[in-house]
Amino acid sequence: MSQEEISLSPSHHRFQKRGFSCEKAIKYFFASNAGLTIVILVLITIFLLKEGLGFFPGYQRELEVYRIAGLEFVDISRKNLTAQEQLTSVLNRAYYAEINGQAAREMKRSKEASALFNAYSEQTGPTRDLVVNNSQAASDPKSEMLAILKTNFEKQKVKALASLPATPHLEKNERADLIESIRTRAVDSTEDPPLVAALAAELAAAQEKYAVPLQGMRATIDSFSSAGSELSSLVSEMTESVTATKEKIQGADILEKDRKTLLAAAASAKDLAEREKLTSEATASLAEKPDVEGPIQRLMERRADCVKAHQALQKTTGGILAQLPENLRQPDARRLLKVARATWPLFIADLEKTPAAIHAWKYDAPVPLTAAISSFLTGKDWVTGGEWQDFYGILPLAAGSLMIALVALIIAIPSGIGAAVYVNQFASPREQGIIKPVIEFIQAIPSVVLGFIGILVFGTLLRDISTWDSLQWIPGFPIEERLNIFTAGCLLALMSIPTIFSLSEDAINNVPSAYAEASEALGASRFQTTFRVVVPAAFSGVLAAVLLGLGRVIGETMVVLLVAGNRIKIPDFSSGLSTFFQPCHTLTGIIAQELGEVPLGSVHYRALFVVGILLFAIVLAINATAHHFVNKMKH
């Protein structure tokens, strides 16, 4: 007799349960709640993929249009033009750095004087405007009102004069004179105080003086700059025609899409009449195939001109390098000149390759899907909403995220682990009672508050500190942008310190005390025990802590959105350590910034979801590795 027959038989033992019990229902209810977590994870994956995967075919079509319309052809020349412009700007910066470096004293003095005057004008501005406007408008100059306005102005003036900025490079009597001249200034005077004007003139004279020996360099730069003019006019001419073609193709694409929607609607319509109506509408909207051949052929005819312009540019460029001065005196100028010299051969090599590229270019070469994928993963540009062509290259964002994470970890790893070792091994219980809650509280601070602190307090503070004369030896000081990689990295370090601290502390705490006891019994001191036995034994756990901290840093959004500066560009690594003081954009920040503004279902919208998928994958991989180490620690 089988099992089932027993349970079906009417005479059963009284311990035996019958049918579907209430208990079972309760159990399944709870089980389904636990299953909810799986459902959520699956939903996240499905919906990210659903929205994201459409990106690649869409991007492929965009790249195809880019090629068919001839934009790609123009970009071959445009790329060289941009490179030439950038080189010009580097040379120009070197030129001015040389002059201004020599005239540094005059420059500082002039700047300080005008800063002082500007601070005064800013504070007294509104009250002064009132006095001036009313004395012109009011017919009765003796009116009571004007008197009140004037007293207000005087009050404000006293206040402003009491809080002027410091001027370390002005002589004491110069400053006193300047303040005196401001005090005695007529209300409606529009001229600068004499010292400000004098210092400005002094600066101009100095600049002129130092420019004299550099005349040769100036001429060289100018000739290089004008060498690109032929190519430039050619490019702008071609730009117009290809943009028109692109618009036509895009218009046809949209019509085609509408038609397909109509046809689909027709297929699913129940009513025969409605179906016919929809079908006829669809046929009517059949787009005429845009004429691609004509404009492309015309574009191809310009090939020879393009090649000629490039050859001319190459000829001029080749000679320029020899004409530049051997060396410059100012360190900044020297560095820039070095950069120019280093990039020069690359530029020339590019120019040499260009004619071949121009001839080899084919408008009807197919764009495979892999091209879209590789353009996304290795593209150096993330350009959206532009008039020319949208590119979705992840590199600038990934580079930004990585640089920020690097700064954050460089700061957070030593301080987080150091604090954990200190608190666990050396701190008295009383110190622990202070340090632990404070660090725990840092963890509870919402990230948007940290971002706020970064934007309003820390960024400004850092920029002010970077102008101190005693800190000028630090590369990148004074910093140009208040919001940059370093600022964001510091704040993220503050965010990840609690994670690294508490998990490392746990790991160190979990090292069996028998280890420490044995070590001391063998004659090791407290310090040797800590650093040779306890910390190495906790290594896996500490590593996991660092990885989880990294996961937190990479996934953090609000701080980087507010503080990283949001410039979508691969940081310029040629500037050495001052690279860390450039603004950047991040994987998380781009989603937060752009998702609210893109049309649903567009390629751009889908690109953001692909970034999300990438982020999801990176963070999951980091966490999985971390948990691997945690499990290793347990065994």
Partner 1 sequence: MTSAIQIQNVSFAYNTKQVLHDVSMDIPAHQITAFIGPSGCGKSTLLRCFNRINDRIPGARITAGSIKVHDIDINRSDIDLQELRRQIGMVFQKYNPFAKSIYENVAFSLRVAGQNKRATLDEIVENALKSAALWDEVKDRLHASAFGLSGGQQQRLCIARAIANQPEILLMDEPCAALDPLATLKIEELLMELKKKYTIVIVTHNMAQATRCSDKTAFMYLGKLIEFGPTMQLFENPKDPQTEAYVTGTFG
Partner 2 sequence: MFDPKKLIRKGLPKGHFKDAAVRSLLAGVTYLVVIIAALLFGKIIVDGAPVLFKAEAPFVDFEFLTAKNETLHVFDDALGNRHQLPAAAYSAYLDKHPGEGIFNEQTFSYSGGGIAGPIVGTALLTIGSMILALFFGICAAIYLSEYAKQSPFIHAVRLAILNLAGIPSIVFGLFGFSVFVLAVPIITSTPADRSLLTFPLFFGNYFVSFQGWNSSLMAGCATLACMILPVIITASEESLRAVPQGFRDASLAMGATRWQTIRKCVLPFSLPGILTSSLLAITRVAGETAPIMFTAAVAAKDDLPWQGLKSPFDLLSSQVQALPYHIYTLAARIPSSEYTQRAQYGSVFVFLVLVAFLSAGSMILRSKLRAKLKW
Q: Which of residues 551-570 bind partner 2 (CB under 8 A)?
A: 551, 554-558, 561-562
Task: Using CB under 8 A, pick the residue from 520, 566, 618, 623 that binds partner 1.
Answer: 520
> Would you state the structure tokens that stand for residue 245, as one six-digit string?
């073609």
Q: Choose the stretch contacting partner 2; rule: CB under 8 A; options: 43-51, 309-317, 374-382, 468-476.
A: 43-51
Q: Does 591 bind partner 2 (CB under 8 A)?
A: yes
Residue 27's Cα: distance from chain center in Å?
50
Question: In the set 80, 102, 124, 127, which binds partner 2 (CB under 8 A)?
Answer: 127
User: Going residue by residue from 445 to 464, which x/- string records binding to partner 2, judged by CB under 8 A?
Assistant: xxxxx-xxx-xxxx------
Interface map 187-226 toward partner 2 (x if CB under 8 A):
----------------------------------------
Closest to 610 (Cα-Cα) out of 394, 371, 380: 394
Rank residues 461 and 518 by Cβ distance to partner 1 and give the closer one: 518
Q: How many CB atoms lie within 10 A of CB 403?
A: 24
Residue 414 CB, nearest distance to partner 2 (Å)?
A: 7
Decide: 381 and 391 in contact? Cβ < 8 Å: yes
Does position 504 interact with partner 1 (CB under 8 A)? The reply is no
623 binds, among partner 2, partner 1, none (CB under 5 to 8 A by kind): partner 2
Structure tokens at 342: 């280093």
**Residue from 411, 533, 563, 603 that binds partner 1 (CB under 8 A)?**
533
Residue 32 beta carbon to partner 1: minimum distance, rounded to whole angstroms: 43
Burial class (CB in 10 A: 0-12, 13-18, 19+), 270: exposed
Least separation in angstroms between CB 190 and partner 2: 18
- Any residues with CB less than 8 A from the CB of 347 and at least 6 apart, and which? 80, 83, 84, 87, 317
518 near partner 1 (CB under 8 A)? yes
Taking the C-alpha atoms of residue 212 and residue 210, their distance in angstroms, rounded to an integer, is 5
34 or 272: CB nearest partner 2? 34
Site membership for partner 2, residue 541 (CB under 8 A): no
Partner from partner 2, partner 1, none binding residue 521, C-beta < 5-8 Å depending on class:
partner 1
Contacts of 53 (CB under 8 A, 6+ apart): 606
- The C-alpha atoms of residue 568 and residue 593 are separated, in whole angstroms, by 12
Residue 285 binds partner 2 (CB under 8 A) = no
By CB under 8 A, residue 269 contacts partner 2: no
Contact of residue 519 among partner 1, partner 2, none (CB under 5-8 Å per partner type)? partner 1
Round to whole Å and give the CA distance between 443 and 458: 18
425 touches 508 (CB < 8 A): yes
The interface with partner 2 within residues 306-365 (CB under 8 A) comprises: none
Q: Indicate whether 528 belongs to the interface with partner 1 (CB under 8 A).
A: yes
The first and second tokens of residue 541, run together, are 């756990």
DSSP H helical ranges for 269-302 = 272-284, 293-301
Task: Write each residue from 366 to 385 as x if it is in contact with partner 2 (CB under 8 A), else as -, in one continuous string.
Answer: --------------------
Rounded to a whole number, what is the largest CA-CA distance in the chain? 120
Which position among 69, 71, 149, 282 is part of the footprint of partner 2 (CB under 8 A)? 149
Q: Total residues at the site for partner 2 (CB under 8 A)?
A: 93
State both tokens at 308: 């000629």
Distance in angstroms (rounded) separating the CA atoms of residues 113 and 297: 62
Helix (H, G, I), strand (E, B), or coil: what is residue 150? helix
